[in-house]
Amino acid sequence: MKTVCLYYSRTGKTRSIMERMARMLDADLFEYTDGKDRSGVKGYISSCIDTYREMPPVSIIGGEPEWEKYDRIIVAMPIWAEAPCVIGKAFLKQYSGKFKGDLYLVVTHMARADYSKSICKAYLYSSVRPKAHLSLQTKKRDCGADIKHFVQAIGK
Ligand SMILES: Cc1cc2nc3c(=O)[nH]c(=O)nc-3n(C[C@H](O)[C@H](O)[C@H](O)COP(=O)(O)O)c2cc1C
């Protein structure tokens, strides 16, 4: 099973989770972005505003993976305003038509809530229906056990 993991991360939490997951799965790892500087308070506010604006074009840093090489694609994104962030939704809208393998989604969030229902909002933007998803609370928490459990569930 050849896996590719792709993530967007504003402050690094989703990045470190996906780095761990990719290591456990021997997967290739890519970062996608809308190219906007979203650091600090200004970046937080603009992210809130952009949530309600038109979807931005996104790109994959270093170029697109060779999609036909992968039979599993794991796409990760943070939750913004109770839903998968606009950049993640834009990514699915733009690229999911090219996926050749099974799709899995990962969302990260601060609240202890299970965002499984919100993840379905991202399903609407994907031309492939995800096989499963993972909702990961990141605040003051080591997600290692949850990541391991997810990796075991989907299999290496
Ligand atoms: C604009 C914005 C809105 C957010 N809204 C929520 C939210 O509704 N619920 C939540 O639990 N976390 C929310 N968060 C927190 C992030 O989802 C959380 O910190 C995430 O793990 C950050 O991932 P990152 O470091 O990869 O960017 C929000 C963050 C931002 C920037």
pLDDT values of the chain reduced to their tens digit, one per residue, 156 residues: 999 999 999 999 999 999 999 999 999 999 999 999 999 999 999 999 999 999 999 999 999 999 999 999 999 999 999 999 999 999 999 999 999 999 999 999 999 988 988 888 888 999 999 999 999 999 888 899 999 999 999 998
Query: Residue 102 region, left (φ>0) first, then alpha (ψ -120 to 50), else beta?
Result: beta
Tell me the domains of the chain and their CATH numbers. Answer: 3-154 (3.40.50.360)
**What is the C-alpha separation between 14 and 2, in angstroms, rounded?**
21
Q: Do the Cβ atoms of 112 and 143 come closer than 8 Å?
A: no
Tell me which residue of 4, 3, 8, 2 sits closest to 122, measured CA to CA. 8
Please list, in sequence order, all residues whose beta carbon lies within 8 angstroms of the beta carbon of residue 117, skipping any fewer than 6 positions away.
Answer: none
> Cα-flanking dihedrals φ and ψ of residue 130, to 5°?
-60, 145
Residue to probe by mutation, ligand 1, list 6, 77, 109, most atoms within 8 Å of CB: 109
- Give me the helix-helix angle, 144-154 and 13-25, nearest 10°: 40
Q: Is the CB of 110 under 6 A from ligand 1?
A: yes
Q: What is the pTM of this model?
A: 0.97
Q: Is the CB of 71 under 6 A from ligand 1?
A: no
Residue nearest to atom 14 of ligand 1 (CA): 80
Query: Residue 31 region, left (φ>0) first, then alpha (ψ -120 to 50), else beta?
Result: beta
